[in-house]
Structure 1
Amino acid sequence: MAIKKPYFSLHEIALLSLCAALIVVLNSTFSLPIKIPGHTGIYWVVPVIIGVGIVKKPGAGTYIGFISGILATLFGFNTLHIFNLFIYLALGGIIDLVGLLFFYRLDHPAAGFIAGAAGNLAKMVVNFVLQTFLGIPAAFIIIGIGTASITHFIFGGLGGIIAALVLSRLLKAGVITRDKS
């Protein structure tokens, strides 16, 4: 009987899990003292984009989102608790899709900007949907969604550019290599 090869290697699982843990660590220890919606996207998206850019397989971002959502729920971040899982899954899943669209060339600043902005906007949308589901009046959410979407886009994009530059430097330094396919 043939042994089925796992989708992610042990090395990839370790790397993706470390990226997921880094999101939770950044979220708990690093805070900017500005009160602008979405400003945390400048550092939330970086580990996801770097993880997806290194592993280059569909599902890498979703795996990072799933693990970071579980960790955020276990450590009690945000007021949504178990629903954090959906927020982090949306972030990782959208960055997965953008990575696939750009053939995992997330080391380019434009691709990084789009991936970061899309991931941060997906996180915002899921957050608003969950808040509506939990009973917050839709009028309050609609009023706040305009400014929040612009700031989520900007900060997520800036985080994506940072991730692209870091990933590019890792490639140039030879820390990671691109496969020939």
Structure 2
Amino acid sequence: MCQAKNVFDVSIQDAERILEAYEHMKSIPDLGRDPEELKRAALIMSLTAWETYVEDKISEEVALQTKVLQGCQIGNFINNSLEKELKFFHTPNSKKTKDIFERFLGIDVTESWSWPGYEDPDRTRTKLNEWIKKRGDAVHRSVADKQISHLISKPEAEKCIKYFKSLVEATDAALNH
């Protein structure tokens, strides 16, 4: 198993633990309100785990494929190019993810994004982009009016975590072929 996947597996546990804390805190009678910020935090941590995975995975794969070029000019060029690109690589939606893997590895990993419930890669790409938009809302838009519905429900946050676990599995499988 690759290091990127190992790091993701540990990182996604942060989101799961945040949801456990949410369950505990919402049962505290003196709290006075639903700790909805914990559900937003679980969403944010899920996307952070995904972003870290994509960056680590592309770096791992490029290093593996250019191992024989290490120390020579072309190897340095490839590594420096990737390093520069990753400095500006944020919020890996379906297009950015597709583009970076195609550019450096010649593979469209998004074509392999299929699993039970998400058999159509187009649906999977669309869902990734929806999660990213929701993460942006969670990061930049705190809920000031506690009467309106929450940005994300607990079942949605659980689906988000499950989605990203499956997405990482599908991406890893695509790159291991």
Give the alignment's TM-score, normalised by structure 2: 0.33
Larger Rg: 2
